[in-house]
Structure 1
């Protein structure tokens, strides 16, 4: 499944990764020195869709986590290595995701709001913090811990300067025409940033920082989208040791000696910080692998700045308001109030786009489990014949391969008969009803669109296909239809509203193939069309291909080619091989 299992650094530290079975969720990440000493580690006990309920660190201290029904963090309980409780932090929220209270810790206080979602003050044990806003809804001033910060912005809502109460400049920033921060000036002088893309992603980060004379301050090397090492002006390396969410939990020098240790609360406030010298660089990568500004402890998440103390962005996100997702109307909240499973490195994800991929994974897992219990006997006893396109696609996409007794040969000779057999109709409708019962309120049966039509060249949806919701009260009754010539018809699109209504975006597009080897990349062919659709008409461009046959060596290579081509389009491609 192409998951990273180990990494050897030049300083002798080996990082190993283990995963929850059949998922991409990290179970444990361990950084071990050359002499066998564990430098840093994080072990995760997970439930539900993968949310951690317990995280154990290398010294056997741990935190237990609780969530509400909306999967927001509501409690953190910290224990030492002997299991003695050290601290408990409780969070409360309103229905729209605004934080109402924090019982202790760096963010302790009662939170008050004006103008809907704008945080106006926090009453803490040590005093009152206050916040004001400009006409564009951006935080204009913060009064905290006896200091006042005044923030100015450009037209892209990026901070251009921070001044104190007397008008003295704390820091100034400059950006290029693409919104990339290219210069910063503070009491340490001027810093120039050479910003470049990270791997095959759309994210960009600084690769070089120089002073006003062009002399090197620091250079950065990345592994994918996460920082791997930092080089100082003399070329001395410091390596980042991270947890499963990419947060820096330790730093190690070129000899493999740990030179810094970090621990955070759920929202990125330091609980422990040893060796946190940000020096003349003006910041460094810390929580979720993002850049922490040294001047005012805000995280620069590219399009916006994040304040870990309030757990909010300082400027608005132009989110799409969705009536059945109240939190989607909150333009300041950070990753759905759950940084243990969500991240927002671009600062531009809406609530819907951040949540969609996780929700889809949870739904498919739920449906798979329900199907196993609901129609196991029918599948084992009767699945020997040839079923129609839709029936076989649904069954194989939702059932594990070891429950299917359909011979591989029958997959190549599927009937397109418009009249299903009684068994075909029963199994298909049973599957549909199981989907219906398993769907949470966010993804109802009305979001399932079977065999919609896409324009071959552009991927634009031109036909809605079939939606089972009109007969949901009495059953599903999915019809068996032949493919339409001249158009591309994926098996399923998950979307609120009709696929042809392009004013709102979809969540998932799914296609089932007998084998991946037959996928063609040429313009106007299925793969090209579906990835074009994903790029232009989805919240998170995510395509799911289900391959029924066990892949050969050539087909594995084909899958990798597909993923590479998808990445170049900015599309996430997931391939599930059921190995029949």
Structure 2
């Protein structure tokens, strides 16, 4: 994307080099000029130097200094004077479980890889519970339970209205009254934020979790800076040799945020308009405004959904070790008898979850070709999604 016109008439323009790095951005009356090193890392922004560690993690930009643990997870942010802005903790799978900002602590609990519950404490006293509701990767709303002035618990239900990309653009109460709203540019910068509920709500652009203290989005695998249109850490996936746009380890959605999203920071882009769909229309279901896609036509290999972390981890393990993890079934021949996948190679299939005694294997698999190409299926080989 090289140009966008915002609802208020403001024009944003972007220029990129051959590697997909943003050389300049003109957003309204603000111009930013970037230079890059050979690793596609931002070397300077408006003559301010950026610093990285040897693993490709951003250590310092024009606003903050960042710290990481041995696993490459961002653990602490300070301002340039060394004052702490935030601290983060993670579980063994890499999901963020805690954020500490001053006297306030946010605890995070997940259903799979989706945020389900957030508990907010002030000085160890629980002040608020937030339950989040999702339909696949589209945020539907949140239920807030908090103490009132009499120290009694009260509950409030809020519904998200989202646009086609999944941005939360409006927040409504159970009566349909708007209590908060946002506008964004194409890269996710918050342009307007109206209402106290909107200020408190962290689920925003593309359904990502917004960290107010840094203005970055937490995408699980990495943090994303919408002001730069770039991630703060290197993508561990080197990209597809047939698609140079995927080989920039810091770029966001191949500079096409009008078409793609990146739900977990692992370069698994989602198409907004997939092959074989019409544009569709807005409809209201159960008091919520949602996007209803047009009629689909047949296509067996899709790229329009996020690949589960378990599938990605299984692929990485098999590629590194040549066999499935202990306790996992896999390595058998996938015959491709219906020719749903390219026929120029042979395939093997692998489970993405460990085998449990007495339980069915389920329908989710990855299939890896001898040529290295991998595919994910969640319906026992009826349709596939490309993984690399």
For normalisation by structure 2, the TM-score amounts to 0.70
Within 5 Å, which residues of 2 pair with 1:249-268?
249-268=169-188
> Which residue is equivalent to 2:161?
241
Cα distance change of structure 1 residues 106 and 162 upon mapping to structure 2, 3 Å threshold? farther
Deviation at residue 309 of structure 1 after TM alignment: 0.2
Q: Would you identify which runs of 4 or more consecutive aligned residues in structure 1 move more than 4 Å?
A: 276-279, 357-360, 457-462, 535-540
Deviation at residue 460 of structure 1 after TM alignment: 4.9
> Which residue is equivalent to 2:245?
327
Pick aligned residue for 1:137 from 37, 53, 56: 56
Pick aligned residue for 2:4 from 71, 76, 89: 76
Say which structure is richer in helix: 1
Deviation at residue 248 of structure 1 after TM alignment: 0.7
Deviation at residue 321 of structure 1 after TM alignment: 4.2
**CA separation in 2, counterparts of 1:332 and 1:573?**
30
> Which residue is equivalent to 1:115?
38
**CA separation in 1, counterparts of 2:102 and 2:165?**
32
Cα distance per residue 1:490-524 (max 9 Å; x no partner): 324238xx52388xxxxxxxxxxxxxxxxxxx99x
Say which one has the larger Rg: 1
> Which residue is equivalent to 1:219?
131
Pick aligned residue for 1:491 from 336, 339, 343: 339
Count of residues in Structure 1 that have an aligned counterpart in Structure 2:
314
Deviation at residue 163 of structure 1 after TM alignment: 0.9
**CA separation in 2, counterparts of 1:535 and 1:238?**
43
Root-mean-square deviation (CA, aligned residues, Å) is 3.5
Contact 1:107 1:310 in 2 (8 A): no
Q: Give unmatched runs, 5+ long, in structure 2.
A: 147-153, 279-296, 300-328, 349-359
Matched, 1:182 2:97: yes
Cα distance per residue 1:124-182 (max 9 Å; x no partner): xxxx5442111111110111xxxx31101123322111012222211101111111211
Cα distance change of structure 1 residues 572 and 312 upon mapping to structure 2, 3 Å threshold? farther
Pick aligned residue for 2:275 from 361, 365, 375: 361
Cα distance per residue 1:86-124 (max 9 Å; x no partner): 22222121222111111224873221112330012222x
**CA separation in 2, counterparts of 1:105 and 1:343?**
24
Contact 1:278 1:294 in 2 (8 A): no
Cα distance change of structure 1 residues 108 and 269 upon mapping to structure 2, 3 Å threshold? farther
**CA separation in 2, counterparts of 1:358 and 1:240?**
18
SS in 2 for 1:336: helix
**CA separation in 1, counterparts of 2:180 and 2:29?**
21
Contact 2:115 2:132 in 1 (8 A): no
Say which structure is richer in strand: 2
Within 5 Å, which residues of 2 pair with 1:125-204?
128-143=47-62, 148-197=63-112, 203-204=113-114
Q: Give unmatched runs, 5+ long, in structure 1.
A: 1-72, 81-85, 198-202, 366-395, 399-456, 463-486, 503-521, 543-565, 575-580
**CA separation in 2, counterparts of 1:153 and 1:269?**
25
Contact 2:259 2:273 in 1 (8 A): no
Deviation at residue 75 of structure 1 after TM alignment: 1.0
> Which residue is equivalent to 2:315?
none
For normalisation by structure 1, the TM-score amounts to 0.48
Deviation at residue 286 of structure 1 after TM alignment: 0.6
**CA separation in 2, counterparts of 1:97 and 1:164?**
29
**CA separation in 2, counterparts of 1:535 and 1:324?**
17
SS in 2 for 1:327: helix
**CA separation in 1, counterparts of 2:210 and 2:106?**
15
**CA separation in 2, counterparts of 1:261 and 1:397?**
37
